[in-house]
């Protein structure tokens, strides 16, 4: 497993990052409940297998169910061998506003304290804002507390998890977030416009949603009729498959890894077969310029429609 620099953090991370949401809570297309999830032992065995295959970067969050606790159990005797990114609890109140400054400070510090306890460690390698919208990113106290935690040695790097191009642009402009985690995949390529700026600033870029919650895998078959245009578009990627890209997940992952500005690609892993496939994909051989350009031209024409929470609300993912 090759490693890349995580921006200017001084950390070197595996090209594949283990996405820990699936081991902690029901998540993804076709996952209906805990009955579809791994047992705790199976999850820990999977985490150990990942380190054995060269994966050293693990992503979790306070809001990912049992994920932090499982990683704590798996890595308590090998903490120095792994890089763990976790995310703070959400800040927004029911009315969409942010709480008062002192409450914000308490939420951030308590969230990290709870994460460190679950992870059985005294520091987080990367501590991130979870779903960082513009109000969160613009709030000076939030950034101030994250910087304090870094100075105190409780975190090694700060991060922000963004959704939109505008949010990512704002995070980059603040110059205080060492790492930005953002959505990017074959279908939705909007964030590429900021890759060069991130590289110039020394900001680590971690890609999530590379398989779009399983849509760009074998789980994306037989979609709801309302998603027929998406299904048809996905079928078009078959034209890019061949000896180097034998299936859609391989194609999608190699596409994301073909950008030099990308430090690591998060892959949601809850099965040994997914782990093996992800590791095999990160072989250092990525898209040649011609294939990359073809893939870039095949972005979905209406990225705003790629709203999975809305699809889920409409019952289109069942």
Q: What is the 3-state secondary structure (H, E, C) of the chain?
A: CCEEECCCCCCEEECEEEECHHHHCCCCCCCCCHHHCCCHHHHHHHHHHHHHCCCCEEECCCCCCCHHHHHHHHHCCCHHHCEEEEECCCCCCCCCCCCCHHHHHHHHHHHHHHHHHHHCCCCEEEEEECCCCHHHHHCHHHHHHHHHHHHCCCEEEEEEECCCHHHHHHHHHHCCCCEEEEECCCCCCHHHHHHHHHHHHCCEEEEECCCCCCCCCHHHCCCCHHHHHHHHHHHHHHHHCCCCCCCHHHHHHHHHHCCCCEEEEEEECCCHHHHHHHHHHCCCCCCCHHHHHHHHCCCCCCHHHCCHHHHHHHCCCC
Number of domains in the chain: 1
Instruction: List per-block mean pLDDT (blocks of 10 residues) for the chain, which spans 318 residues.
Output: 96 97 76 75 96 97 95 96 96 88 95 98 97 91 96 97 96 94 97 98 96 82 90 94 90 96 94 92 92 96 92 86
Nearest to 155 by CA among 164, 145, 165: 145
CA distance 167 to 161: 9
Give Rg (Cα) of the chain: 19
pLDDT of residue 218: 73
pLDDT of residue 308: 86
CA distance 216 to 262: 19
pLDDT of residue 204: 98
| Tens of pLDDT, residues 157-179 | 999 999 999 999 999 998 899 99
Q: Are 181 and 128 in contact (CB under 8 A)?
A: yes
Cβ atoms < 10 Å from Cβ of 216: 23
Nearest to 20 by CA among 46, 41, 54, 2: 46
pLDDT of residue 31: 63
List of long-range contacts for 40-45, beta carbons under 8 Å, 24+ apart: 40/66, 40/70, 40/73, 43/70, 43/74, 43/270, 44/70, 44/73, 44/74
Q: Are 20 and 46 in contact (CB under 8 A)?
A: no
CA distance 313 to 311: 5
Q: Are 213 and 270 in contact (CB under 8 A)?
A: no
| Tens of pLDDT, residues 279-288 | 999 999 899 9
For the whole prediction, is pTM greater than 0.85? yes
CATH label of the domain that carries residue 91? 3.20.20.100
pLDDT of residue 280: 93
**What end-to-end distance do the CA atoms of the chain give, in Å?**
35
- Residue 65 lies in domain: 3-314
Tokens standing for residue 258 = 């073909």
Cβ atoms < 10 Å from Cβ of 288: 11
CA distance 240 to 77: 43
Judge residue 169's burial from the number of C-beta atoms within 10 Å of its C-beta, 0-12 exposed, 13-18 middle, 19 or more buried. Answer: middle
């Amino acid at each position: 497993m090759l490693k890349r620099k995580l921006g200017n953090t001084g950390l070197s991370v595996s090209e594949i990052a283990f996405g820990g949401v699936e081991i902690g809570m029901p998540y993804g297309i076709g996952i209906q409940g805990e009955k579809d999830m791994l047992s705790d032992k199976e999850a820990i065995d999977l985490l150990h297998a990942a380190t054995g295959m060269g994966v050293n970067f693990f992503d979790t969050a306070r809001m990912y169910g049992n994920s932090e606790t499982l990683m704590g159990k798996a890595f308590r005797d090998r903490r120095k061998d792994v890089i763990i990114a976790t995310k703070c609890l959400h800040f927004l109140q029911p009315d969409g506003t942010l709480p008062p400054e002192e409450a914000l400070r308490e939420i951030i510090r308590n969230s990290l304290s709870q994460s460190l306890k679950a992870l059985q460690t005294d520091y987080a390698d990367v501590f991130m804002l979870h779903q960082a919208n513009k109000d969160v990113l613009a709030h000076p106290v939030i950034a101030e507390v994250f910087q304090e935690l870094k100075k105190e040695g409780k975190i090694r790097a700060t991060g922000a998890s963004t959704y939109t191009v505008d949010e990512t642009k704002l995070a980059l402009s603040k110059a205080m977030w060492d790492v930005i985690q953002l959505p990017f995949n074959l279908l939705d390529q909007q964030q590429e416009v900021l890759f060069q700026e991130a590289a110039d600033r020394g900001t680590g870029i971690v890609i999530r949603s590379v398989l779009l919650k399983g849509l760009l895998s074998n789980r994306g078959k037989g979609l709801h009729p309302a998603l027929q245009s998406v299904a048809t578009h996905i079928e078009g990627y078959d034209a890019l498959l061949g000896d180097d890209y034998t299936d859609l997940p391989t194609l999608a992952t190699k596409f994301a890894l073909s950008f030099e500005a990308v430090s690591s690609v998060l892959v949601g892993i809850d099965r040994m077969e997914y782990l093996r496939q992800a590791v095999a994909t990160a072989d250092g051989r990525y898209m040649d310029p011609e294939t990359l350009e073809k893939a870039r031209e095949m972005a979905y024409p209406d990225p705003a429609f790629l709203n999975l929470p809305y699809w889920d609300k409409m019952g289109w993912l069942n």
